[in-house]
Structure 1
């Protein structure tokens, strides 16, 4: 017996091999390395797991051997690992797949990634920062987690959700992954080197330069009179107040949250006032300083008399701005900040980061507030499409959205009565402006019944009949649903009786902004019972009346706007899974899960459609899209939407939209109704926003007053009206193209709204372009976001040639051009080799089948396109009920082949006609659906080939 026990001990020890006084174990899908810690905070164990030939999981823990993390984001990647090999040297363990070589230092556990040919892709940085720092939240011990990586000097970084500081490439900046109204945190970083890192952590996280921002007082400050110690702050009251200005020294500008509103000078009212901060700043370092300014109202910032920021944001919903400026060590740099709060309660702050230390210039890091382990996935690809596909392999596929969702949606904050909503629907149909969906925003309930899911009978006397009338006009209804309950209503009592509510806001008596103010809270979406009960409420009270889709608002969760992050955590604590600090960012994912899983179980034949204000890793698997939140109505804000949407797309979230026209407006637009130049500016802003919005994945107008319906923006003869309707009709003409792209989203992990780096990554000039993009494989979209613009400078990527969509004129790629951009049109170019299918003129997406398709073919290089169709509203495509018609063009032979139809589904179109228009360098063709085609092909599913002249 004694010898048997010794044998068991020997076998257990021998499973950990010891090349350099270090131990490792070979697993079925990777290796587990045990380290001798050199210092507190180092990993004790490092696990490298092969998920696929191109996906590697790295997991490390500070003490105990890692188990299987319970991920909220990751649902895939648990299958048997592909074939891989392990090579061992004295210093290194090497995991080799068909596509990757992963080296792990036997002494430090540092992981390095190489391609199959041995070229380094990225590697973890050695030391420099503790990986694990013990921390306790609500008596629960856990760790702050940090990991830095060494990167190439010319590498660019994207993704990470939706951020609205106007950045496309995050290189050199800090990205704050904290859920806010208009900020969506998705911890998936994508590199221009065709890899991504999915950081599997649910807490608030920083990426990039993760050093803490410093308050302004960390610089040497001087007043405008050169007196050292502080800037000169001048508070000027509204003219009618008769108050003298208040002048005082201020070391910091920190009025970011509700809690700091008390720090303004005693007796000073922001309403109608103005504030200046003036003086000089002096740094003890030379180099680029980066500044972060959360703010609302009108703000301008000058450094060395250079205007670095000039923007407006609604007072009640501050946004983030960043700018940078070079400071010289020991030199005084003049600073001036002008702030018009534009409200009785408004917010502003200013912080900075000193120059990045030379040793860290070629490093980026992730740093999270809470986690029991360090857990990330390295995702590699031959291109960025493969990287996004790898992300979806891990976190779940995005569905094909219902076809109606790809049409136009009209929304307003808000339709206050049943008659108001129905009259808008009637007007669209009367004017024959295409539309598929009307959205009913919040407050359709009685004032004191938030969370009841019941219509106010005085304003909506027959909600079921209202929805039926919409359906009879071939319109869908999406409705706003919040995870919020007023204290004391029946649904509150139901959730409270089961312990499914966050109670801190109730205990603190936190009131909202409605009427007299009501105390409320949110349900705990991390609790499976809470999710089930929430869906049952929606099913019973809204779905039963015919509601088609769900608008999930305030899903950050925004229990109390503009309070500190610490207070926000307190208000959503504890969660079912543990302290809110560990799970803060994942609430929108869990809330969407409630509706998706509930509806798919109870109504499996109906595609779920969710629009939510916030996002997290894996959101796409729940039939969900995101929108960019409560943004302001300015040309500057329109410009910021473009990189925000592009980075959301690179985060693996394929369906994204923005409030066309912006949500909240300056006084000049609506108090009173705009007149003169303000009215024309409003019309031009909406025209440009509608032009851009036509080519975002989801096409949706929304906002406060003035109303956003085209017929409320301008009269029928106005060029604004004509332009908006033109692009609306163009969107519907493009429906065969657009719906084919939604098919690619599911079947090929495709992306509709495509940053140029996705398709032209070899062209270094596109790395920082955040105001142009490809819509699908063929259309180069170039939004106009400056008033009075009649041209726009844009870049035509190299490696292909281009045609103007409107007149078919040819342009070489690889050049910066000045394109015509008159008020009515936005520059759009078509890639050589493109095959663009245009369908019939429609009033709604299901009005008639695309039995006649006008096929524009653009010469100059080979091309291909798959025309995709399915049953439009159900999930039968998951079972194979769909068709693809492969269409290819050979530029050398000038032959177009409409290939054999693949697949089938019930009631599919058996026969159709293709009208073919051929465009090439010597034969420009204008976009004209009434023109006689050069050739016509009758198609019955069998392949047809024609030569183009």
Structure 2
């Protein structure tokens, strides 16, 4: 491919080449939009992932010589080789960020796109009920040619030592993706977001909803999509990860605030079967003085075999509104599982069928159809929301998974082929990764239009770029209870949150606990469940990790998950669970302020170390530590120390784990010992102790013990300063629910620590909200220094000197 000519236009530079057209435009001075087509003109389809925003006047220049074009905004420069049309990217200082291969890194291969045409009168749908619920499959249908498309390939030459992250949450536990291969399609244990971040300080968003693959190995270094009208991607320069993520969200949308209760503890299992059981679980938490904010009603809450019906079985849930009143009377919220698939016999299925809104399997609704989404919301509203349901659990949002069977796990290539082939039977192959995105949109827009006083919460198993704008939290799927799984979950969550989607969680304790030899995915190590001392130890470590995730949630099958199932007061595991549960609630002012920073400033809660220490090559491969907000370095324990499966005692004298502390001063959270960083240390890690450190310069607000996140208290808020560096933190508060914050109904206090003056400044309060206390009581504590100071804050600047 060679450059022929270029034309400057109001939206960028169009390149005419010997093999198609390219266009380089700019959304901001740091974000380039690049398109490539073999057609006469570029397509005009609206993107499902990238949103429209008011245009920014980005100034750019074009210069050229005999060999290259230079297109520059000042912040970012793209070099176009005239001989090959390969691109190189550089920052304002002329430092190379990344380059395409000399022969050119962008290729388009024409392919034929086929759709399956189903006879609307056909009745050949086969229903199958398995571990992953109802699956409906139509054996009929005729494959017909639909249109031409392209297989696109975007290749790069990454530098030695450069680390790559992102692409979503996958089950393999790979953090740095260099030298790796990953398939991007929706499946129970995969949540795809086509975003890469580089330690060199840039990100790439591929604007495609097709299945994809990423490869960086002996076979090449590229991102490939299977079906697209043209190639389209965005290059985002940071250089810091927070800046890159902010750029990704500028493209894909902002993150709404979740209600405060969503950051509390959520109790779930497979499954609570009646209203009485839900009430009893909530009551037991309150009687034991164990904090709780939400209980979850999992699948099969409907009548009989009416799978996916969005109404409750009247025998087991005779009065849903009374159930909601009783739970709410204990200050407990109620989340209910809903499915996109519906079996025949129920009103929901009939209405969808009559509207022509079912896909070819005659069971799954068409979330790509706006009217179908509106009907789905109407059903959820009338059957559940109007009875007091507080939150949605959108299960099985990758509706055409096909490999969740058999004793032998297919290899990765085979799994991708099986699952994508099934999806393409019912969905447009160009959009098979986006079902969850549109499904989430329908519920979010429906609830927002219906009720502005209750923030949307949607826990969903699949994800895609832009889905975060619909108030979703993605969990990692139906995992199995092994130590290896626990270790891998950390990297999976970190990579997910590096894509701009900030809310990720998991089933604490894993979904499957036992091992069913005839099902490859049901492969836990603990046949005796909570009676197994080995599982209790694993659960405690999983719970410690969950304490520092955006959503703190226990769930799974095979064995119960309530805290008292793991022992009694005075026993090690029970006491450890209680300790971390209460810690989560004491940190609620810190966590809720982090949530506000996600919404208002584009921040990220769950942070790989590269967010804060990108230029330290020692952090690039650390997949079992992370930052939780700007203050905490979390080092979960991922190996057994006391018991193996079957309660077999282990002879492990070493109750420690290695921890890498980056440069600077760090404080052991448990004893305030100060430690100089830039080295690896050995940390105490007995059962009750997960290594936890706080960065010098941090200001961490702590609240009093609470039984639920919004519980009022007259006790003071404790501000703990960790000296050794200057620091700042924005303390945020609002009503805890409603969307009034979008109208400015919230309050912020800027907290500043001056190390040289040993001075903590509480800045002028900005903003207000209904119900806000004009005067607040704070106690101020300096880590490593005995005693506290109590101050009354009335909204004006207040200085506390030590």
Normalised to the residue count of structure 1, the TM-score between the two structures is: 0.76
Q: 2:718 & 2:792 partners in 1: Cα distance?
A: 12
Q: 1:415 & 1:561 partners in 2: Cα distance?
A: 27
Q: How does 1:272-671 map to 2 (within 5 A)?
A: 356=218, 364-503=221-360, 505-506=361-362, 521-558=363-400, 560-562=402-404, 565=416, 568-569=419-420, 571-572=422-423, 580-666=428-514
Q: How does 1:211-230 map to 2 (within 5 A)?
A: none
Contact 1:34/1:45 (8 A) holds in 2: yes
Q: How does 1:92-171 map to 2 (within 5 A)?
A: 92-127=68-103, 131-138=107-114, 139=145, 140-171=147-178
Which residue of structure 2 aligns with residue 325 of structure 1?
none
- Which one has a bigger Cα radius of gyration? 1
Specify the SS of the correspondent of 1:640. Answer: helix
Cα deviation for residue 69 of structure 1 reads 4.2
Q: 1:73 & 1:850 partners in 2: Cα distance?
A: 45
Contact 2:86/2:104 (8 A) holds in 1: no
Q: 1:616 & 1:557 partners in 2: Cα distance?
A: 14
Q: 2:378 & 2:15 partners in 1: Cα distance?
A: 47
Which residue of structure 2 aligns with residue 800 of structure 1?
664
Contact 1:670/1:705 (8 A) holds in 2: no
Contact 1:29/1:80 (8 A) holds in 2: no
Q: How does 1:249-264 map to 2 (within 5 A)?
A: none
Cα deviation for residue 64 of structure 1 reads 2.1
Deviates more, 1:648-657 or 1:68-77: 68-77
After superposition, give the CA deviation of every residue in 1:242-299 in whole Å (9 maximum; x if it has no partner).
Answer: xxxxxxxxxxxxxxxxxxxxxxxxxxxxxxxxxxxxxxxxxxxxxxxxxxxxxxxxxx
Q: 1:130 & 1:892 partners in 2: Cα distance?
A: 53
After superposition, give the CA deviation of every residue in 1:340-390 in whole Å (9 maximum; x if it has no partner).
Answer: xxxxxxxxxxxxxxx726xx5xxx311011001010000111310000000
Which residue of structure 2 aligns with residue 843 of structure 1?
707
Q: How does 1:8-23 map to 2 (within 5 A)?
A: 22-23=4-5
Specify the SS of the correspondent of 1:522. Answer: coil
Specify the SS of the correspondent of 1:914. Answer: strand
Q: Among 27, 43, 52, which residue is 2:28 paired with?
A: 52
Which residue of structure 1 aligns with residue 130 of structure 2?
none
Cα deviation for residue 670 of structure 1 reads 7.0
Question: Any stretches of 5+ residues in structure 1 without a counterpart?
Answer: 1-19, 38-43, 210-354, 507-520, 926-932
In structure 2, do the counterparts of structure 1 residues 405 and 192 end up closer, same or farther at CA, with 3 Å as the change threshold? same
Deviates more, 1:722-731 or 1:134-143: 134-143
Q: How does 1:850-929 map to 2 (within 5 A)?
A: 852-920=716-784, 923=785
2:90 aligned with 1:83, yes or no?
A: no
Cα deviation for residue 685 of structure 1 reads 1.0
Cα deviation for residue 567 of structure 1 reads 5.7
Specify the SS of the correspondent of 2:342. Answer: strand
Specify the SS of the correspondent of 2:213. Answer: strand
Specify the SS of the correspondent of 1:22. Answer: strand
C-alpha RMSD over aligned residues:
1.9
In structure 2, do the counterparts of structure 1 residues 797 and 21 end up closer, same or farther at CA, with 3 Å as the change threshold? closer
Q: 1:108 & 1:533 partners in 2: Cα distance?
A: 51
After superposition, give the CA deviation of every residue in 1:775-806 in whole Å (9 maximum; x if it has no partner).
Answer: 11001111011111753433343331111101
In structure 2, do the counterparts of structure 1 residues 661 and 881 end up closer, same or farther at CA, with 3 Å as the change threshold? same
In structure 2, do the counterparts of structure 1 residues 21 and 892 end up closer, same or farther at CA, with 3 Å as the change threshold? closer
Which residue of structure 1 aligns with residue 568 of structure 2?
715
Cα deviation for residue 669 of structure 1 reads 7.4
Deviates more, 1:108-117 or 1:378-387: 108-117
Cα deviation for residue 882 of structure 1 reads 1.2
In structure 2, do the counterparts of structure 1 residues 946 and 82 end up closer, same or farther at CA, with 3 Å as the change threshold? same
Cα deviation for residue 572 of structure 1 reads 4.4
Which residue of structure 2 aligns with residue 779 of structure 1?
632
Contact 2:530/2:565 (8 A) holds in 1: no
Q: 2:328 & 2:468 partners in 1: Cα distance?
A: 27
Q: 2:8 & 2:81 partners in 1: Cα distance?
A: 15
Cα deviation for residue 29 of structure 1 reads 2.4
Q: 1:553 & 1:534 partners in 2: Cα distance?
A: 14
Q: How does 1:729-748 map to 2 (within 5 A)?
A: 729-748=582-601
Contact 1:740/1:867 (8 A) holds in 2: yes
Which residue of structure 2 aligns with residue 822 of structure 1?
686
Q: 1:151 & 1:560 partners in 2: Cα distance?
A: 35
How many residues matched? 742
Q: 1:558 & 1:459 partners in 2: Cα distance?
A: 30
Q: Among 691, 695, 708, which residue is 2:548 paired with?
A: 695
In structure 2, do the counterparts of structure 1 residues 466 and 53 end up closer, same or farther at CA, with 3 Å as the change threshold? same
Specify the SS of the correspondent of 2:767. Answer: strand
Q: 1:119 & 1:22 partners in 2: Cα distance?
A: 27
Q: 2:421 & 2:637 partners in 1: Cα distance?
A: 43
Normalised to the residue count of structure 2, the TM-score between the two structures is: 0.90
Q: 2:85 & 2:103 partners in 1: Cα distance?
A: 11
Contact 1:610/1:625 (8 A) holds in 2: yes
Deviates more, 1:606-615 or 1:460-469: 460-469
Which residue of structure 2 aligns with residue 291 of structure 1?
none
Contact 1:99/1:115 (8 A) holds in 2: yes
In structure 2, do the counterparts of structure 1 residues 791 and 580 end up closer, same or farther at CA, with 3 Å as the change threshold? farther
Specify the SS of the correspondent of 1:484. Answer: coil
Question: Any stretches of 5+ residues in structure 2 without a counterpart?
Answer: 115-144, 406-414, 516-523, 643-653
Q: 1:850 & 1:148 partners in 2: Cα distance?
A: 59
Deviates more, 1:695-704 or 1:785-794: 785-794
In structure 2, do the counterparts of structure 1 residues 811 and 180 end up closer, same or farther at CA, with 3 Å as the change threshold? same
Which residue of structure 1 aligns with residue 790 of structure 2?
936
Q: 1:880 & 1:82 partners in 2: Cα distance?
A: 29
Specify the SS of the correspondent of 1:903. Answer: coil
After superposition, give the CA deviation of every residue in 1:559-590 in whole Å (9 maximum; x if it has no partner).
Answer: 54537655645654566xxx532111111101
Contact 1:182/1:631 (8 A) holds in 2: yes
Which residue of structure 1 aligns with residue 16 of structure 2?
34
Which residue of structure 2 aligns with residue 681 of structure 1?
534
Q: 2:549 & 2:424 partners in 1: Cα distance?
A: 36
Specify the SS of the correspondent of 2:576. Answer: helix
| Misfit runs of 4+, over 6 Å | none
Q: 2:379 & 2:467 partners in 1: Cα distance?
A: 22
Cα deviation for residue 941 of structure 1 reads 0.7
Cα deviation for residue 101 of structure 1 reads 1.1
In structure 2, do the counterparts of structure 1 residues 385 and 850 end up closer, same or farther at CA, with 3 Å as the change threshold? farther
